[in-house]
Every structure is written in C-alpha cells, then in structure tokens.
Amino acid sequence: MSHTSPDPVVLNDPKVVNGWAMFDWANSAYALVITTAIFPGYFNGVTDKEFSFFGIEMTNTALFSYSISFAYLIIAAMLPLLSGIADYGGKKMTFMKRFTYLGSISCMLLFFFTGMDNLWIGLAGFILAVIGFAGGQVFYNSYLPIIASEDQLDKVSAKGFSYGYLGSVILLIVNLLMISFPSFFGLESLVKNFPQLFGESATAEELVNNSKALAARLSFVMVGVWWMGFAQIPFNRLPKQAQVGKVDNLLSKGYAELKKVFQKVKKETHTKRFLIAFFCYSAGVQTAIFLSSTFATDVLGFSTNELIIVVLILQIVAIGGAYLFASLSGKYGNKNILILILSIWIVVCLSGYLVQDKTTFYVVAGGVGLVMGGVQSLSRSTYAKFIPEGSDDTASYFSFYDVLEKSAIVIGTFVFGFIDQILGGMRNSMLALAVFFIIGIIILSTVKIGQRKIE
C-alpha cells in the first residue's frame, strides 16, 4: 500500500491555528442562534403547547427535546464509520466540508417553517442542521493534535471556543436588532405589502408580531450564509492529509480503523476512565446548553428579546471562562479544574430547579456561561493528551470522543424530555441533570492524566 505524504505540518503556526479557530467562528453561529437563542423560542411560539404526534400526546417542549435526541442518535451511529474512513482514506477535509454544507443549507430551509401546518419542515431542517454541525465537529476536533504541540493544546482549544463565542455574538446582536426594530430594516413594509407571504396583519400588533417572526426566519438564513462563508477560511488553511493508496472495501476499512483504536483505548485504563466520566458529565452539560432557553421561555416566560440578552451574557462570560480555566489548568492540573467546573455545574442545576424569577435566572445564566466554555475546551484538550503523539488515527480517536458526547446528548435530552412529559414540568428535569455531574466527578477523580506517548 502506498502513501503520498503531504508537506510536513508546522506545529503552532499562527496562520493555521487561527484558520482552525475560524471554523468555530463559522459554525458556532448555528449553535447559538439555532439551538439556544432564537429557534427554540420561535418553535414554541409557532407550535401548539400540546398536540398528538404520531398518535402520542406530548408537549412542544418534549418534542423539541426528542428531536435533539433523534438527531444525535443518527450522528452517533454515523461518526465511527465516517471518521475511520477519514483517517484511512485521507478525507478529513472532504467530510468536514460535506457536513458543513448540509448544516448550513438546512438552516436556510428553516425560513419556510411557519407553524403546525409545516411542522415537518421545522423538524427536518433542525435535525439535519444538528447532524451537519455535529458531523463537521468531529473532523474539526481531530485537527487539534495535528496542528498544536503538547504544551499548547489547552490554549489552542480555548482559542477555538473563544472565536466561536465572539463570532456568534456578533451575528446574534444583528439578529437581535432585526427582531427588536423590524421597521428599521424594512420588514414591516414587506409584511404589509405581501400579506400572502408573511401573514395577514389586521391590527398594528399583528403587523409587529408578523414582522418579528419574519426577522427570526431571516436570522436562520443568515446563520446558514455565515456558517458556509466563514468555513472557507479553515478549508483553505488547514493542512492537507496524507492520502492512502488505492483501497478496496473502504467501508470495511473504516470499521477496521475504528476497531484498531478501540483495542488501543481498551488497554489504556486512564483513557478509558476519562471517556466514561466524559460521557456522564457531557449528558448534563450538553442537555443544559440545548434546553436552557426552552426552560427560560416555557417556565419563566422570557420573551425572545429577553432570551437573546440572557444568551449574550452567557456567551460573553463564556469567552472569559474558556481562557480562565485554560490558565488555571496549567497551574493546578486539568483534572482538578475539571472537577471544580463540574461542581459549579451541580450548583447551576440546583439553582435552575429553585429559580422563580427572571432576575435570578440572569445570574444562573452567568454561571452557565462561566463553566460552559471551560468544560468544553478543557475536555477536548485533556482528551488530546491521551492520544499517542504522531498517531495517524486522530479522527478515529476523536470519533470515540464525539460518539460518546453525541450518545450522552441522546441520553441526556431523552431523560430531560421524558421527565418533562411524564411529570409535566422541566424543573424536575433540570434537577435530574445534577446526577450526571455527580457521577462524572466520582469517576474523574480516579483518572491520571499524563503526557502523550510517542506512537
């Protein structure tokens, strides 16, 4: 079997590192606008509170939670195969591009989702956007140990998340202005002149509401354009991957690559323990991130504008949080700081269960922001330290990481939605998330994090 080697990668090259971080800038607009700030509230606003879905009675909040579970179930099943093929066939960038285009176009299609009459468009567009985002993320993550040296992993990982938070905040502010002042952007005139397209407006209040709905729908299109456009920077700057010579039965080879990495992970006790701990606390982290905005609108009655302000606070604090915990990890060690972060998450969950007013929820949101960036960034860079230096299987290694994270989202969001549906409220669901963090701390306390071995 022949290999065509690319030009050697220069570690910590500022142009490459910044280009890599720009992928977070590009796709985090989806993570913020679609999953957190605008789409959840829009979904709740244009759908009935309770309805029958394929013969099952459920609430719109439970359906939204289940749709996340379904999307991540699909991506969890796909990623081991795709990342194995990517490592074996030299196709990291190919798959990164395909998932990016799937996600960005799906966001644009959400423009056509207007209510119960076309609920399928909203669900299909949202689920496909989730798959596009999650699919591209595993290949993006797999570049981290390729472009950064051991001592720079925490900082480079934090830079990616910080770029993502900053870029998504910029777009969200524009969306907030559009929703708050639709007349300034000419949206009220559009609604008034084309009622057959944007809804009849018999009263001034209906005109404003229809204009704000149009602004929200346009924000979904803007996310797709932003995501696809800025992704061209990492597509052009990231290093080319070594191409493997002609390979028969590439699908089976993908599974073979996955099995090979699995056998390696099985022998590494501390790597295995870290992944189990990561699975447990990720179920709590990702579910809280996905469904906190739904909790705010449904339980506390936040308007779209109020919710966007909450999210802006969360994102701005998260930028500082990512760098703060990266700095602290260098002084006190990754494990100790991760345990600290997870302890704060437990307090956040308990506070979410008890919160009764909007003012207190702003404080809770600040706490989420502080630890949101830290736990994601530090988890990614910590795992990278378990991957043997010089390994050709980084995508397959990160497929384990990402499949566990996606599977954790399936479990977490399903538990959240199930408790919501059975007990009729999300407060108990929020309390249940604390259990995931407690288990994660217990297992993580047994993990030893060392330096990467040479392969």
pLDDT at 17: 93
Other C-beta atoms lying within 10 Å of the C-beta of residue 453: 12
pLDDT of 205 higher than 70: yes
pLDDT tens digits, residue range 408-435? 888 988 888 888 888 767 788 888 889 9
Q: What is the pTM of this model?
A: 0.78
- Residue-wise pLDDT tens digits, 21-42: 999 999 999 988 888 788 988 9
- Give dist(CA 356, CA 353) in Å, integer: 9
- In the prediction, which pLDDT does 132 show? 93
Residue 225 is predicted with a pLDDT of 98
Residues contacting residue 100 through CB under 8 Å, at least 6 positions apart: 26, 27, 132, 136, 227, 228, 231
pLDDT of residue 86: 63
Confidence of residue 119 (pLDDT cuts 50, 70, 90): very high
Overall average pLDDT of the 341-354 stretch:
90
What is the reported pLDDT for 4? 45
Return the closest-CA partner of residue 142 out of 366, 403, 401, 344: 401
Return the higher-pLDDT residue of 343 and 297: 343
Q: Would you list the DSSP string of 150-164? A: GGGHHHHHHHHHHHH
Tens digit of pLDDT for each residue in 388-397?
A: 777 766 767 7
The whole-number pLDDT of residue 133 equals: 92
Q: Provide the token pair at 196.
A: 């057959």
Instruction: State the average pLDDT for the chain.
Output: 84
Q: How far apart are CA 342 and CA 339, in angstroms?
A: 5
Instruction: Confirm if 279 and 444 have CB atoms less than 8 A apart.
Output: no
Q: How high is the pLDDT of residue 263?
A: 82
Helices then strands, counting H and E runs in the chain, come out as 18, 4
pLDDT over threshold 70, residue 62? yes
Give Cα separations from 386 to 42, 80, 270, 339, 453 (angstroms). Answer: 41, 18, 9, 18, 8
Mean pLDDT of 270-281: 90
- Both structure tokens of 267: 């022998």
Q: Which of 42-46, 169-173, 363-367 has the lowest mean pLDDT?
A: 363-367
Q: Which whole number is the average pLDDT over 379-396?
A: 78
**What pLDDT sits at residue 455?**
46
More confidently predicted of 104 and 257: 104
Cα(10)–Cα(442) distance, integer angstroms: 39
Residue 103 and residue 172: Cα distance in Å, rounded? 18
φ, ψ (nearest 5 deg) of residue 243? -95, 130
Beta bridge partners of 244: 3
Query: Which of 284, 288, 373, 289 minimizes the C-alpha distance to 327?
Result: 373
pLDDT of 226 reads 98
**Would you list the DSSP string of 278-317?**
HHHHHHHHHHHHHHHHHHHHHHS---HHHHHHHHHHHHHH
Terminal alpha carbon distance of the chain? 20
CATH number attached to the domain at 9-238+250-444: 1.20.1250.20
Q: Residue 125's pLDDT is what?
A: 96
Helix (H) or strand (E) run with residue 50 in it: strand 50-53
